[in-house]
Amino acid sequence: MKLLKVAVLLLAVSSVSLAQSFEGKIIYQNSYKSKTPNVTDAQFNEMMGTRQEYYIKGAEYMTATNGTFFQWQIYSSKSNLLYSKMSNSTSIFSNDGAASTDEIVKAEVNKGVTTILGHKCDELVLTCKNSVQKYYFSSEPKMDASLYAKHKFGNWSEVLAKTNAMPLKIIMDNQQFSLESVATDVTTFKVSDKIFELPAGSKVEKSPY
């Protein structure tokens, strides 16, 4: 149960004008290192997926993976809910976006740490009660942090407030696993609103995770 809660939270992670906010798709390559007994690195990668497609438009996003367990997640700004689809249930689980899930103890920014896709990136390090989260960001893809001010789940509002940009790399370390997620492609285009709609006839339940 704790492992599933962490999975939902993960595929869950300062203002500029809306016109400047990124719209399009980012592809991330994910790699997991297990710290969970009886779960191998390969099993984690298979369950959670090694490829993640992240679509964003204004205050909405949708992310999908090639994982055998975690399939997709949609954030609705109107309801401030995150909807997650797992392969082991016909229901879609909802999480309150206002729920703070891992308290930040310390936040620090290190300048010019690495280069990703040709962008010189700073590093935001969030030391939390149950994890250490590192976000590598540049000035692009630019984000309007005010659009996600209510998105406390996964500390996402705090991340955007400090970076004003989508991360090009994420390193997350907790008791269950270590994750490295690196952007391999960023494409700007007009995203259809339909991609943020739940499938017709969906059964939604409050997430137990």
Those residues of the chain that have pLDDT short of 50 are 1, 14-19
- Provide the pLDDT for residue 12: 55
Interstrand relation of 51-57 and 60-65 (parallel, antiparallel or unpaired): antiparallel
- Provide the pLDDT for residue 44: 95
pLDDT per position as a tens digit, 69-89: 999 999 999 999 999 999 999
φ/ψ of 19, rounded to 5, equals -65, -25
- Provide the pLDDT for residue 183: 98
Please name which of 183, 186, 75, 175 lies closest in space to residue 136, comparing C-alpha atoms: 183
Cα–Cα distance, 121 to 203 (Å, whole number):
41
Domain with residue 96: its CATH number is 2.50.20.10
Residue type, 42: A
Q: What is the pTM of this model?
A: 0.89
Q: For residues 72 and 40, is the Cβ–Cβ distance under 8 A?
A: no
pLDDT per position as a tens digit, 148-163: 999 999 999 999 999 9
- Provide the pLDDT for residue 8: 54
Q: For residues 22 and 56, is the Cβ–Cβ distance under 8 A?
A: yes
Q: How many domains does the chain have?
A: 1
Cα–Cα distance, 50 to 203 (Å, whole number):
27
Residues, the chain, total? 209
Residue-number span of the structural domain to which 76 is assigned:
2-206
